Structure 1
Amino acid sequence: MAEFFASGRFIDWILLLMALEGLGLFLLWRVRACGIPPAALILILASGACLLLAVRAALTDAGWVWVWLFVTVALVVHLADLRQRWQRAHSKTP
């Protein structure tokens, strides 16, 4: 079990579950027109996925550059998500 965590394979499983979650939420949006819009969903899942990839890189000794890269991309995507939410919230106010 220690090898499963040290190798980062558990991160792969979490990423797979996130992809399935994203697919399910996307299908819900398409079929019932409810839930999270696809553009927002992509930003939410992408920032989390990048953080998970940073953890995986750190666990597998991939090097600090990969950890830094994934964390930086997660930050940029997170800021884009916040901007999108901020604009959506302000467009609804009278």
Structure 2
Amino acid sequence: MLLLEFAILTRRSGWSTRDAALRLLPGALMMLALRAALTGAVWWWIALALAASFPAHLADLMRKGPGRAK
């Protein structure tokens, strides 16, 4: 589903690949953490994926700048 959403964002919405990737990366990392938790992975895999999602989210916010909604 994320690949489909990426394709729609880049082709139909006119977003650059960088914008679309930065927007979708935190969610993808959180889904990876959820999958690890549901399959019984060791705790540090879950923590690693969750910890990586926060800087990715911050990078997206910093790229947008203050006051920009898109």
TM-score (norm 1): 0.64
In the alignment, structure 2 segments of 5+ residues that lack a partner are none
Q: Which residue of 1 aligns with 2:23?
A: 44
Identity between Structure 1 and Structure 2 (%): 34
The match for 1:5 is: none
Q: Which has the larger radius of gyration?
A: 1
Q: Report the number of matched residues.
A: 68
Structure 1 unaligned segments of length 5 or more: list them.
1-16, 90-94
Q: State the Cα RMSD in Å.
A: 1.7
- Secondary structure class of the residue paired with 1:61: coil
Aligned to 1:28: 12
| TM-score for both structures, normalised by structure 2 | 0.83
Write 1 or 2 for the structure with the bigger share of helix. Answer: 1
Structure 1 segments, 4+ long, off by >4 Å, are none
Matched, 1:82 2:53: no
Partner of 1:59: 38
Aligned-partner SS, 2:20: helix
